[in-house]
Structure 1
Amino acid sequence: MSIAEAGEFGLIGRIVSRLGSGSATLLGPGDDAAVVRAADGRVVASTDVLVEGRHFRRDWCGPEDIGHRAAAANLADIAAMGATPTALLVALCVPTGLDVTWAEGLADGLSAEAGLVGATVVGGDTSASPTLTIAVTALGDLGGVAPVRRDGARPGDVVALCGRIGYAAAGLTVLSRGFRTPKLLVDAYRRPDVRYPAGPEAARLGATSMIDVSDGLLQDLGHIAEASVVGIDVRRDSFEPPAQMLDAAKALGVDPYVWLLAGGDDHPLAATFPPGVTLPEHWRVIGSVLDGAGVTVDRKPWTGGTGWDHFR
């Protein structure tokens, strides 16, 4: 059945029937607006949009994969503020000839990714469009702590990373060259593996700044450097590319550090911490904060590209 045959309200009914309810949801889909509990008294909010042909391709990713990716892009932003995600709002613009089961798969992926942190999809909107577009807004709860902003890094802080990096960028290159292996890299592109609890954990550990690495490590660390009016240096030897990445890089003629330092879509969290803080093992120190400006690699300018720019 196509979406045109299902109709707007038939589509909405099919999507809503696949969504659960979380502890923060007081009133879910069905009214003019949802009601979400904000125990902290403050609501953290972020939004992101995915456009077919720009952010995803249906011949590379299934609908559930795209649902996971769309949710992760927003949930990671909430975690990067030191908050816990509570709810998602989703606007879906679809070609009317699209099969309704595709939209159901998307809803399953969105719901499953949100469920990893106890959040739910609480509402949204639908519209016909010649270009498949998914806009997601995420809400979160700070749990009584101050948000971790980008402007708090100070010289002497260490820079640490939590989560895998470079995998999704490598998977994108593999797919764009017409291959489907290594599976590790392709799967990483299709579905991010985000350490959401690390955001609130970093806040508790005293992180001075934090960011979701969505567009490239050097570029996103550059946002912290600019906001904090500091320099940041990253050490190449702090990264350990897996064998599959090294093999793919050799076969495709790519420097793997371009994936590691400038690739996006993995959504690890990068944070700065005061010197002397003991970090859990899943936080890996990758550099330091210095007097100065900009981001360097091994104290030298990096010329291999820094990340994704939608308008470049």
Structure 2
Amino acid sequence: MSRTLADLGEFGLIRLLQDRLPNGKDVLLGPGDDAAIVHAIDGRVVATTDMLVEGRHFRRDWSEAYDIGRKAAAQNLADVAAMGARPTALLVALAAPPDLEVDWALGLADGLRDECERTDASVAGGDLVRGPSIVISVTALGSLDGRPPVTRAGAKAGDVIAVCGRLGWSAAGLAVLGRGFRSPRVVVEAHRRPEPPYDAGPEAATLGATAMIDVSDGLVGDLGHIAKASDVVLDLDTKSLEIAEPLQAVAAAIGVDPLEFVLTGGEDHALAATFPSEVNLPERWRVIGRVAAPTEEQLQGVTINGEKSETAGHDHFR
């Protein structure tokens, strides 16, 4: 019979977790004290936090604990990268029922650790509490390494819009899982374990990105945040959007337009940014539209092929 958290106790679990979560180079003091100490190279710390609630953001019958750990880390590390920063550390709080198996908690820790390794970050500390269901709260820290941050507010008329990373794959995977299937496996795995292009964030900052965002709630919805913050219009060219074959297969099977996955699907954590038109972008950054000034006919917002978009991003309370 598998051990549960009640069998092991809070401090017994903490000891096991500490053994699985080594400190990276930016963590000067890790788990085991009242607080962690993380190196801040230029006196500024990028900080973000996010939460995953069982039944809302993940299901244990759809994803292993390891995958959930990877995903919990990814969505926070991607937010740091979207500021043009380099992730340094995570703080993780876990609420769980006492009958949860210890192996599940350890699998979660392994996933967090392995996703952090993609950015040379590490889990610096956190908290454990008893709760009626599993809730995972992650705070990510990052360093700008002397660069100015790339916010949502700098896009200018004449800039190009570019994206780095996959769009629509996680949404296609969710659609498959929601219908009780497990294939195409590649999109199911994309939903379980996103692959953000973390290093593209600092790269974009170095290239002169004027605004940037992590695509977590859908391309149109998230670009709408840049449009509002920058007081501009972002016009997308759908001919420039990549619709991969697995997305086409899923769309055909369930009778939807595959473009909807790309425009509205979230949780792939691609990075979308605006750049001055004269910037020579690396190949992995795909230009998908342009920035224009608002007019009386088209106020700030997102247009698709020049037409006003009614598409909205994900809203937790709608």
TM tier relative to shorter chain: over 0.9
> Counterpart of 2:313 in structure 1: which amino acid?
G
C-alpha separation in 1, matches of 2:309 and 2:231: 19
C-alpha separation in 2, matches of 1:28 and 1:142: 21
Residue 210 of structure 2 corresponds to 208
- Is contact 1:261-1:306 (8 Å) kept? no
RMSD: 0.7
Residues paired across the two proteins, number: 311
C-alpha separation in 1, matches of 2:142 and 2:116: 12
User: Which of the numbers 290, 293, 305 marks the counterpart of 1:291?
Assistant: 293
Identity of aligned residues (%): 59
Deviation readout 1:54-96 (Å, 9 max, x if unpaired): 1010101000100000000100000000000000000000011
> Counterpart of 1:218 in structure 2: which amino acid?
V
> Counterpart of 1:310 in structure 2: which amino acid?
H
Deviation readout 1:211-262 (Å, 9 max, x if unpaired): 0010000000000000000000011111221212111101111211111001
User: Which of the numbers 146, 150, 153 marks the counterpart of 1:151?
Assistant: 153
What SS class does the counterpart of residue 127 from structure 1 fall into? strand
Residue 227 of structure 2 corresponds to 225
Q: Which runs of 5+ in 1 are unaligned?
A: none
> Counterpart of 2:126 in structure 1: which amino acid?
G
Residue 311 of structure 1 corresponds to 317
Residue 102 of structure 2 corresponds to 100
Residue 61 of structure 1 corresponds to 63
Deviation readout 1:34-70 (Å, 9 max, x if unpaired): 1111111100000000000110101010001000000
Q: How does 1:77-226 map to 2 (within 5 A)?
A: 77-226=79-228
Cα deviation for residue 302 of structure 1 reads: 2.8
Residue 297 of structure 2 corresponds to none
> Counterpart of 1:309 in structure 2: which amino acid?
D
What SS class does the counterpart of residue 17 from structure 1 fall into? helix
C-alpha separation in 2, matches of 1:60 and 1:205: 39
User: Which of the numbers 8, 29, 40 marks the counterpart of 2:31?
Assistant: 29
Q: Which runs of 5+ in 2 are unaligned?
A: 295-299
- Is contact 1:80-1:211 (8 Å) kept? yes
**2:307 is the alignment partner of 1:300:** yes
- Is contact 1:217-1:306 (8 Å) kept? no
Cα deviation for residue 207 of structure 1 reads: 0.3
TM-score for the superposition, normalised by structure 1: 0.99
**2:272 is the alignment partner of 1:265:** no
C-alpha separation in 1, matches of 2:241 and 2:213: 18
Residue 7 of structure 1 corresponds to 9
What SS class does the counterpart of residue 51 from structure 2 fall into? strand
> Counterpart of 1:311 in structure 2: which amino acid?
F
C-alpha separation in 1, matches of 2:277 and 2:44: 30
> Counterpart of 2:260 in structure 1: which amino acid?
V
Cα deviation for residue 306 of structure 1 reads: 2.5
Q: How does 1:241-260 map to 2 (within 5 A)?
A: 241-260=243-262
C-alpha separation in 2, matches of 1:143 and 1:161: 23
Deviation readout 1:278-305 (Å, 9 max, x if unpaired): 00000000111011111011011234x3
C-alpha separation in 2, matches of 1:188 and 1:221: 22
Q: Which runs of 4+ in 1 moved over 2 A?
A: none
